[in-house]
């Protein structure tokens, strides 16, 4: 049986037959760690021919009620409420939420990234949970390569709405290095730690010339925290902070360049501690592709899975 929280949400939007089909599918996926439609159809406990079971599952995956807005967002909100109000949980639940605590320094960590799945360019917004991450929202981009600023804003707004009662920090790699994105996040009241490219221009004090990060002479083992700087030689955006950290080498091995992190967090220690949690989204990708359900190896049902999204975010 599914947890009671799932039961209430799914029963609200699905018919009895649809609910039972979804419940059996989820149990099969958990038991066999497989989302390949041909495999699921062969395992599905329905007294009809294999091809008929397969067609039934294809029709089921195509129903409009299987969307993020109706089924996934309510579950995310439920988990958030449970975490925010631990006094309402029983002893076992409190132990679970404490063990899986995904807040650090009182922040809820939202990690952004983009990945390629079976030729699809997927933009993913996740909530870091321990050493892994939970998907908040995702979208298939209709182009190859990096996402643009407008797309980034639109998808991040979804996370902001879902976590509107929480203090959020957005964590992202160098694809999201834009100082304009940093300025927009700051205006939304959101904290951020965005890794930068080494050619970032910054100004330490008004009246001083702009400098380039790669020319500051950093070496392995060094770190520095610039406070109240402006970024972008033409745009002059800020005031922000820049955390620089280059892990020392061990047996002549180590990273080839330092981390340059643009942030509005108050100090170096906090910035580095939170930014390291971004690795949770990489673990999430591994769980999906090869470590869990082997999404890299399914074919027939992937069109429906990747196009699951809410048509309107106005009612989140």
Q: What is the pLDDT of residues 86-114, one digit of tens each?
A: 544 455 545 544 444 445 668 899 999 99
- Give me the residues paired with residue 111 across strands: 126, 171
Residue 18 inside a domain? The answer is no
Residue 165 lies in a domain: yes
Q: For the ranges 61-65, 70-74, 244-248, 289-293, which has the lowest average pLDDT? A: 289-293
- Kindly write down the DSSP assignment for every residue of 202-255, as one continuous string: EESSTTSPPEEGGGS---TT-EEEEEEEEE-TTT-EEEEEEEEE-PPPBTTB--
In tens, the pLDDT along 20-37 reads 999 999 889 888 877 788
Range of the domain at 278: 107-284
Is residue 102, in this structure, part of any structural domain at all? Answer: no
Cα maximum dimension of the chain? 78
List helix spans (H) across 14-166.
Answer: 16-32, 37-43, 50-61, 73-84, 91-99, 149-162
Average pLDDT, the chain: 84
φ and ψ of 61, to 5 deg: -65, -15
Query: 234 in a domain, yes or no?
Result: yes
Kindly report the CATH number assigned to the domain that includes residue 130: 3.90.350.10
At residue 99, the pLDDT reads 44
Answer yes or no: is 248 within a domain. yes
Nearest to 136 by CA among 70, 81, 73, 192: 73
Asked if residue 42 is part of any domain, the answer here is no
Phi, psi of 123 (to 5 degrees): -95, 125
Residue 253 lies in a domain: yes
Position of tokens 């690795």?
279
171 near 111, Cβ under 8 Å? yes
Instruction: Report the candidate in 297, 284, 308 with the shortest Cα–Cα distance to residue 34.
Output: 297
Determine, yes or no, domain membership for 122.
Answer: yes
CA angle (113 as vertex; 214, 266 as ends), nearest 5: 55
Number of domains in the chain: 1
pLDDT grade for 312, boundaries at 50, 70 and 90: very low
> Of 17-21, 51-55, 71-75, 130-134, where does mean pLDDT reach its minimum?
130-134
């Amino acid at each position: 049986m599914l947890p009671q929280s799932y039961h209430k949400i799914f029963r609200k939007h699905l018919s009895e037959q649809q609910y039972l089909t979804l419940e059996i599918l989820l149990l099969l996926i958990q038991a066999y760690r497989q989302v390949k439609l041909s495999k699921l159809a062969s395992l599905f406990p329905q007294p009809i021919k294999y091809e008929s079971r397969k067609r039934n599952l294809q029709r089921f995956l195509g129903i409009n009620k299987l969307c993020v807005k109706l089924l996934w967002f309510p579950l995310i909100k439920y988990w958030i409420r449970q975490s925010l109000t631990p006094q309402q949980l029983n002893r076992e639940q409190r132990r679970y939420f404490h063990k899986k605590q995904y807040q650090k320094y009182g922040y809820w960590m939202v990690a952004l990234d983009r990945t390629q799945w079976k030729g699809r360019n997927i933009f993913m917004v996740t909530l870091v949970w321990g050493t892994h991450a939970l998907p908040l929202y995702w979208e298939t981009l209709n182009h190859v390569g990096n996402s643009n600023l407008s797309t980034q804003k639109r998808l991040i707004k979804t996370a902001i709405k879902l976590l509107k009662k929480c203090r959020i920090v957005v964590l992202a790699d160098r694809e999201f290095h834009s100082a304009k994105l940093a300025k927009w996040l700051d205006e939304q009241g959101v904290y951020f730690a965005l890794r930068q490219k080494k050619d970032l221009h910054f100004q330490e004090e008004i009246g001083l010339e702009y400098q380039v990060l790669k020319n500051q002479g950093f070496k392995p083992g060094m770190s520095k925290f610039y406070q109240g700087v402006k970024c972008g030689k033409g745009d002059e955006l800020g005031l922000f902070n820049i955390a620089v950290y280059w892990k020392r080498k061990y047996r002549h091995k180590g990273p080839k360049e330092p981390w340059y992190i643009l942030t509005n967090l108050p100090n170096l220690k906090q910035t580095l501690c939170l930014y390291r949690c971004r690795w949770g989204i990489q673990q999430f990708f591994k769980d999906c592709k090869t470590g869990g359900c082997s999404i890299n190896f399914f074919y027939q049902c992937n069109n429906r899975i990747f196009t699951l999204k809410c048509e309107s975010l106005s009612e989140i």
